[in-house]
């Protein structure tokens, strides 16, 4: 079974009360996290590389 990772919007530096958490493989978490950042938090396409790197650096091991 592949390792699962988790990112939690409650820990997002600039977040304003979002409580979404995403878990899955590291690639799924990065892709969905980026889509969530773009659609829900109004991040722009030119932030994609930085956001994805941030997610990769901040994803935690999930034990669910």
Question: Contact residues for Zn ion (CB under 5 A)?
Answer: 9, 18, 20, 40
4-22 residues labelled b (16+ CB within 10 A) or e (exposed): bbbbbbeebeeeeeeeeeb
Q: Given the complex with Zn ion, which of 18 and 62 has the nearer CB atom?
A: 18
CB of 17 to Zn ion, least distance (A): 9
Q: Given the complex with Zn ion, which of 1 and 17 has the nearer CB atom?
A: 17
CB of 16 to Zn ion, least distance (A): 9
Interhelix angle 26-40/48-58, rounded to 10 degrees, is 130
Q: Which two tokens stand for residue 38?
A: 């773009």
CB of 10 to Zn ion, least distance (A): 9
């Amino acid at each position: 079974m592949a390792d699962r990772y988790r990112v939690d919007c409650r820990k997002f530096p600039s977040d304003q009360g979002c409580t979404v958490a995403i878990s899955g493989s590291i690639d799924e978490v990065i892709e969905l996290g980026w889509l969530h950042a773009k659609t829900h938090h109004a991040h722009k396409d030119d932030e994609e590389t930085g956001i994805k790197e941030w997610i990769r650096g901040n994803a935690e091991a999930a034990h669910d």
